Structure 1
Amino acid sequence: MALTQKITSNLWFDSETEDAARFYVSVFKNGSIGRITRYGEEGFEFHGKQPGTVMTIEFELEGQKFVGLNGGPIFQFNEAISFIIDCETQEEIDYYWDKLTDGGDPKAQQCGWLKDKFGVSWQVVPVMFADMVADPNDERTKRAMNAMFPMKKLDIAALEKAYNGA
């Protein structure tokens, strides 16, 4: 297999890596499942997983490669790491927000951030927001930021309205 991506994100799950990978592939239109490895008898004293249990699953979302690992409950996800989904339209924001928040943590939703049912954090953002907050006009930037802070799911029309001073 030719190397097409130098860095691959590895996601450590307790035991639900296959469910998570299949869920993510169902959410993203350009997603696929790749190689699946399984635990054998070797190393049982370390990993405690039954032989035949999924150890890793490779999957790809929109050209980004991931590996999910069933590593046990030792490590948990937190908001220090998140995946950003750049969206062109409100329809796209609504789609990803609705799919990824289903079963997720409603308390972990703020400013376009969410935590899905597996504990993974995502940022669902309009691509134009980066330009708004990088604008050298401080007043426009402040208005956009102030409009964004109380939002959970980002609203493009409301952000543009605030940014433009309407």
Structure 2
Amino acid sequence: MANKIITQRISPHLWFENQAEEAARFYTAIFKNSSIGNITHYTEAGHDIHGMPAGAVLTVDFTLDGQHFIALNGGPYFKFNEAVSFMVNCESQEEIDYYWEKLRAGGDPKADQCGWLKDKFGLSWQVAPVQVSEMLMDKDKERLSRVMNAIFKMKKLDLKAIEEAYGAPVGVK
């Protein structure tokens, strides 16, 4: 029986030096409804171009909370930067705390700001309450300013403090 081919139209493709499988296992252990799919390996073909030994992991297909990803071991040529990040929408402070601690483990604490963090592979994540999106659409400029000022002072987002700055209950609890 052939392995299932993912047919999601757009899939994030993440370039790692040589930690694709380790990263996929790290992420799938954090998010529910997640799994490792197909793992492909380098062969001798193209060795003069890619320099990877035959048998080394080439790609890892994995799913995080229903979203398909591909991790590639492509060598040291490209590194992650903050121009691309993944948003984790949270409905409670407990979810914020959980994802923040799990994703941040072994990461760069100097990168923590306004709900953004950098994990141990250098990939940037935004861990944020879904309520903030609604707050940021508020037409009350004073209320919006209070929320923004509160967020800019935080590393990990504190939903209660943001709601207090907003001055009114919002959305999901």
TM-score range, shorter chain: over 0.9
Structure 1 segments unaligned to the other structure (5+ residues): none
CA distance in 1, matches of 2:28, 2:124: 16
Q: Equivalences for 1:1-20 in 2 at 5 Å?
A: 1=4, 5-20=8-23
Structure 1 Cα separation of the partners of residues 5 and 27 of structure 2: 24
Whole-angstrom CA distance in 2 between matches of 1:135 and 1:75: 39
TM-superposition CA deviations, 1:11-41 (whole Å, max 9, x none): 0000000000000000101110001100000
The answer to whether the aligner puts 1:138 opposite 2:141 as a matched pair is yes
- Give the Cα separation in 2 of the matches to 1:152 and 1:56: 33
d(CA) in 2 for partners of 1:105 and 1:39?
31
Matches of 1:51 and 1:36 in 2, distance apart? 14
Q: Does 1:56 align with 2:70?
A: no
Q: What does 1:5-154 align with in structure 2 at a 5 Å threshold?
A: 5-154=8-157
From the superposition, tell whether residues 117 and 135 of structure 1 become closer, same or farther in structure 2 (CA, over 3 Å). same
**Equivalent residue of 2:53, what SS?**
coil
Give the superposed CA RMSD. 1.2
- Output the TM-score relative to the length of structure 2: 0.93
Structure 2 counterpart of 1:154, one-letter code = L
TM-score by length of 1: 0.97
Q: 1:164 aligns with which of 139, 162, 167?
A: 167
Question: 1:2, CA displacement in angstroms?
Answer: 7.3
Give, in angstroms, the shift of residue 86 of structure 1: 0.1
Q: Distance in 1 between matches of 2:99 and 2:33?
A: 13
What secondary structure is seen at the aligned counterpart in 1 of 2:95?
helix
The Cα offsets for residues 65-85 of structure 1, whole Å up to 9 and x where unpaired, read as: 100000000000000000000
Give the fraction of aligned pairs with identical amino acids, expressed as a percent.
59
- CA–CA separation in structure 1 for the residues paired with 2:7 and 2:135: 33
What is the identity, as a one-letter code, of the residue corresponding to 1:69?
Answer: L
Q: Deviations over 1:42-79 (max 9, x none)?
A: 00001111110000000000111100000000000000
Q: Which runs of 5+ in 2 are unaligned?
A: 169-173
CA distance in 2 between counterparts of 1:2 and 1:48 reads 27
